[in-house]
C-alpha cells in the first residue's frame, strides 16, 4: 500500500477538526481560520492509497519554536504505523533546530521521552456549570482592532514566541468567540477569550498579572455567554488558577503532560490562568 505524507489543505483542516471533535477533544466551532492563520503549512496528512489515514499539526512560531498537536490516526488505520511515520516525517521537515512543545496524553509520556521530549508540567482541563453575574466597572472592555497591537505585545511574555498572525485572527469578535481585556492606566493588565465549542464554551487564553484581574475577566467572559458549561485548561503549578476553578465549582476532567523537545521555555505559569489551546499551545 502506498503511503503519502503531505501538507494539509484548508479543507483538510476542517476534516482534522471534525476528527478531533469525534475524539472528544472539544475544539471550538470557529477555530479553523485562526489555526490556519497561525501557519498555513503547519498541518499534515498521511494518506494510505489516497485515503486520509492520520493527521498532525506542527505549527511554526518564528524560526525557533513550534507546537505539535492534533496527533491522531483514523480508527481504520490505527496500529499500522501510519501515525508514527507521519510524526517522524513532519518533525524531520519542520523541527530541525526548533524547540517543539506539545500537550500529550499522560499514557504516552514514555513514548514522547523516547522522541527526546522532556516533561515540564501537567495541564488540567476543568469544566462545570457556571452561573455568575457580569462584574461592574469600566476597566474591562471588549477587544476591538484598536486593542490588538497592545495585546500582541502583552501576549509575548506568556508564550515562547511571537504569534501575531494567530492573534489577529483569534481576537476578531465573532458571534461565537469574543475576547475581553483589562485596561489599567492605558496598559493591558490581562486578557481572555471565550468561544463556543462542540460541548459548551471554552476559555483560553486567560492571562493576568493578578489573581483578582483573572477572576474579573473570567466572570466577564462567562457572563457574556450567559453561563452554562464552561471549560478552561490550566497549568497545574498555578495554585491561583486551581483556586479560581474551585470558586466556580469547576472540576478536573482531563489531564495532559506539557513536554518540550529542547530547552524548556521560562514562562510565568503563575500568571497563566488559561492555556490558549492544547492543539496550538
CA dihedral 190, 231, 171, 29 (to 10 degrees): 180
Q: How far apart are CA 108 and CA 264, in angstroms?
A: 19
Burial bucket for residue 281 (CB in 10 Å: 0-12, 13-18, 19+): buried
Beta strands in 151-227 (DSSP E): 177-184, 187-196, 201-208
Written as one string, the DSSP assignment of 109-138 is HHHHHHTT-EEEEEEEEEEEEE--PPPP-S
Stated pTM of the model: 0.95
pLDDT in tens, the chain (281 residues): 688 999 999 999 999 999 999 999 999 999 999 999 999 999 999 998 888 999 999 999 989 999 999 999 998 888 888 889 999 999 998 877 899 999 988 888 888 999 999 999 999 999 999 998 889 877 999 999 999 999 999 999 999 999 999 999 999 999 999 999 999 999 999 999 999 999 999 999 999 999 999 999 999 999 999 999 999 999 999 999 999 999 999 999 999 999 999 999 999 999 999 999 999 99
Cβ atoms 159, 281 nearer than 8 A: yes
Query: Would you give the distance in Å from CA 85 to the centre of its chain?
Result: 24
Q: 178 - beta bridge partners?
A: 194
Amino acid at each position: 500500500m502506498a503511503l503519502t505524507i503531505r501538507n494539509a489543505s484548508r479543507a483538510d483542516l476542517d476534516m482534522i477538526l471534525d476528527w478531533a471533535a469525534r475524539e472528544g477533544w472539544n475544539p471550538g466551532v470557529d477555530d479553523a481560520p485562526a489555526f490556519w492563520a497561525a501557519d498555513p503549512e503547519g498541518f499534515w496528512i498521511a494518506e494510505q492509497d489516497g485515503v486520509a489515514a492520520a493527521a498532525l499539526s506542527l505549527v511554526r512560531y518564528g524560526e525557533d519554536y513550534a507546537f505539535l498537536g492534533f496527533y491522531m490516526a483514523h480508527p481504520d488505520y490505527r496500529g499500522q504505523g501510519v501515525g508514527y511515520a507521519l510524526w517522524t516525517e513532519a518533525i524531520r521537515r519542520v523541527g530541525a533546530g526548533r524547540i517543539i512543545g506539545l500537550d500529550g496524553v499522560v499514557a504516552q509520556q514514555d513514548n514522547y521521552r523516547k522522541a527526546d521530549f522532556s516533561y515540564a508540567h501537567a495541564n488540567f482541563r476543568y469544566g462545570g456549570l457556571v452561573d455568575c453575574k457580569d462584574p461592574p466597572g469600566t476597566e474591562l472592555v471588549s477587544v476591538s482592532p484598536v486593542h490588538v497591537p497592545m495585546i500582541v505585545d502583552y501576549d509575548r511574555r506568556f508564550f515562547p514566541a511571537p504569534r501575531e498572525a494567530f492573534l489577529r485572527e483569534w481576537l476578531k469578535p465573532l458571534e461565537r468567540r469574543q475576547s475581553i481585556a483589562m485596561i489599567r492606566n492605558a496598559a493591558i493588565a490581562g486578557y481572555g477569550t471565550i468561544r463556543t465549542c462542540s460541548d459548551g464554551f471554552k476559555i483560553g487564553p486567560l492571562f493576568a498579572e493578578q489573581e483578582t484581574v483573572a477572576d474579573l475577566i473570567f466572570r466577564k467572559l462567562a457572563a457574556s455567554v450567559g453561563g452554562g458549561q464552561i471549560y478552561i485548561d490550566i497549568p497545574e503549578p498555578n495554585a491561583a488558577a486551581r483556586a479560581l476553578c474551585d470558586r466556580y465549582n469547576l472540576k478536573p476532567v482531563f489531564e495532559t503532560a506539557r513536554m518540550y523537545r529542547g530547552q524548556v521555555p521560562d514562562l510565568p505559569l503563575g500568571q497563566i490562568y488559561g492555556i490558549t489551546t492544547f492543539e496550538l499551545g
